[in-house]
Structure formats: C-alpha cells, structure tokens
Amino acid sequence: MTSLSRYIPILRKLINDAHDMEIWSFEDASLARLKVTLLLDARSLKDSLAEIVDSVAELTGRHEGQNDAPSKQGQNRELLEELDSICFIAKMEMSNLEQLLRQMEQEDRRWQVLSVCDRSLGTCGRIASAIEAIICSHFGRNSKNRASERTATAIHVRRAYTRFIGEVVALTEDESDMIARNVAKIAKSFAGLVGSEEYRLMRAHDRWQIVELQDRILRWLRSEATDLEGGRSLLQAIGASAPLLADINNRSELIAWDQFTIGHLIETIRYADMEQLVSDEILNRAGTLLGRDSKLDSLLEGEERPTVVKLLAALIHCREQMGHICQSASSAHSLSGLEPAVFAKDKTPEKSENAACEALDHPVP
C-alpha cells in the first residue's frame, strides 16, 4: 500500500500554488479572460486536492502496518483519526466550492468571480496545509505549510484596516454640515488604502467592497457635491460598511496568534516593575495585536509610551473580551477553519514561541 508520506511533496506544491496565485493582478482583466484563466486554474487546483483528499481518506484506516510508520506507535490511532476528521470536513468544503465555481461559469460580475476564486484558493490552501501538518507530525517531519506567512499577512492587513477605520468612521460621525469636506477627506483615506502595499494582500471580497465604495465617493464628488442628502446617505453607507473590515479578527490564524501573544506578554511583564515604561521589544510585540481591542489600540497608538501596569491591564481586558472566540493555543488544528495554528505540534513554550515569532520575520511582500 502506498504510504501517506508520499503525499507530502504533492500537498506542499498545492499549498504553494494556492498561496502564490496573485488574485489582485487579475483585477483589470475582462470577465471573459477571468473565466479562461483564473477560474480554470482555481477549479484545477480544487480538483487536484479533491483527488488527494479521497486517496488519503482511503488510507487512514489501513495504514498502521507500513514500514515507515512512526516510532511512537501509541500516537498512531489518534493522529489517523484526526486526519480522517479533516478529510471528512474537507470533502464537504470542496463540495461547496465545486458548486460555487460552477456557478461562476454563468456569472456576469467580474468581482464576484474574483471573490469566489480567491475564496476557493484560500480554502484549498488551508485544507492542504492542515493535511500536510498532520502527515508531517505523523512521520516526525517539519511542516512547511506557510502558516507563519499567512499569519504575518493577516497582521499587516489588520493593522491597515484598523487605521483606515479610525480615520473614516470619525468623519462619518461628524454631525456638522461640512459634508463635502468630510467626503473629500474620506476619499483620501480610500486612496491611501487602495494605494498601500497591504492592498494586494487583502482578500478579493474586501477589495471589492472598498473599490465599490470608492467609486461611489468619486462619483458624488464629481457631481460638484451639491446633493447634500446624497452626501449624507453616502456617509451613512461608509460608516456602516467600513467597520465590517474588522471581521478580519475572526480568522483562525489571528485568533491563534492573538491568544498566544496576549498570554506570552502577560507572563512576561506581570512580575516587572509596574511603573516603568514598556520596552521597545514588548511594545513591538504588542503592536501585532493592533485591531483586536479598542482599549488596547488606544494605548498602543497613544502619544506617550505606556507603563507596564497600563499595558498589563489592557492585555487582561483584551483576553477577557476575546472570551469564547479564543481557541486553545495548544490546539494544532482548527477544524472549523481547517487552518493549522502557527504552533503546529510543538507544545513546549520554547518551541511554541519560536514558531509564533516566525510571523514577525515576514514583512509585507
């Protein structure tokens, strides 16, 4: 019987293909071109992964007699059951993707095609990553599923969203009659976000919403901004839509990263001098949490460097606010998101910290 380990290089290629496909570069492509390039590539990758999932699922129940079985036989059953569970969920996910991708053949909106292809590639990448991580752990190999890169990307994008939301929402809540002035300032914020390095790292659906709102803003400004009621309606729409970008906090990689980082920082500073100022190292690490909690954000973005006691209080508050949303940092996989945590199977504090800190070594590409 063919060993599970033979799928490791195949899965890694699929992970890289899904990760490296630059959806943003197709934004100016015609609908016809999207359907004969990006859509076909997304379906091909999904089909390839579906074949692997089917093959792996067939092997999970009959694998223990292989010559290259792991030395720790006691872990065999648990790991294979975990792999079987992932494959079961993956099949359901890919069945949904198949329906969506088929619907895109008749879709007449470019951004909808882009968004679904982006979703498909992201889901396939996470499925392949989860399976690769389990198989690598099964055979005592290091996983190369690029989880730290995905975490770093999410941290960068969340930081950009948080600052953008702060700029825009304050202007939409201004009750003065300076509607044209506020819309013009918001237009600059949109231009800054669309022109930023983080823009191409955003998910296609987010870029779609941003670009559509930007088009509405520019159309209103070009109309000489005389329609005040239309301006007020536009500000209301922006005020309702912009905060939705904060939903990035629901991504499994950020939940895992934030929980680990909050716990690590609390343990690091809890016995320090409460009145001393926070060090650069601690402040930089805390900065990766920007966007998770408004109170912590205010402290991190303040003009004065916070004291240890203030940061500790903010971190404890942030941990409490996360509540049930947090997943255990010791969990290697999120079944709901099919996203392996940054920590993989490394349960010791030293290994977990090193794995988590890899995300800080990946600047915006």
Mean pLDDT of the 33-41 span? 96
High-pLDDT (> 70) share of the chain, %: 83
pLDDT score recorded for residue 76: 67
> Is the pLDDT assigned to residue 72 strictly greater than 60?
no
Predicted confidence (pLDDT) per residue in 122-171, tens digit: 999 999 999 999 888 878 888 888 888 889 999 999 999 999 999 999 99
For position 108, what pLDDT does the model report? 95
With cut-offs at 50, 70 and 90, classify the pLDDT of residue 358.
Answer: low
Res. 228 pLDDT band, cuts 50 70 90:
confident
* 257 has pLDDT over 70: yes
User: What's at 37, amino acid-wise?
Assistant: T
Residue 89 to residues 83, 86, 93: CA-CA distances in angstroms? Answer: 10, 5, 6
- DSSP category for residue 68: T
Cα 32 from Cα 53, distance rounded (Å): 31
- DSSP H/E element including 74: none
What's the pLDDT tens digit per position in 294-339?
999 999 999 999 999 999 999 999 999 887 555 443 333 443 344 4
Say if pTM beats, i.e. exceeds, 0.85. Answer: no
Judge contact between 193 and 211, C-beta under 8 A.
Answer: no
Amino acid 138: pLDDT: 79
Q: What are phi and psi of 341, to 5 degrees?
A: -65, 165
For 204-226, the pLDDT digits (tens) are: 999 999 999 999 999 999 886 67
Cβ(189)–Cβ(239) below 8 Å: no
Give the span between the Cα atoms of 323 and 220, in whole angstroms.
42
pLDDT on residue 147: 84
Instruction: Say how far apart CA 263 and CA 283 lie, in whole Å.
Output: 15
Enumerate the β-bridge partners of residue 307.
277
Identity of the amino acid at 349? P
Neighbours of 18 (CB within 10 A): 24
Give the pLDDT confidence score for residue 152 in this predicted structure: 94
Question: Confidence class of residue 189 from pLDDT cuts 50, 70 and 90?
Answer: very high
Which residue, chain included where needed, has tokens 């409460």? 274
| Distance of alpha carbon 161 from alpha carbon 249, whole angstroms | 11
Q: What confidence category does residue 83 fall into, taking pLDDT thresholds of 50, 70 and 90? A: confident
pLDDT value of residue 75 = 52
C-alpha span between 121 and 43 (Å, rounded): 9
Q: What is the mean pLDDT of the chain?
A: 85
Rounded average pLDDT over 60-86:
61
Element spanning 340, H or E? strand 339-340
Q: What is the mean pLDDT of residues 261-288?
A: 95
Identify the pLDDT of residue 357: 54
> In the predicted model, is pLDDT for residue 359 greater than 80?
no
Confidence at residue 70, expressed as pLDDT on a 0 to 100 scale: 44
Any idea where the domains of the chain sit in the sequence?
4-145, 151-248, 251-361
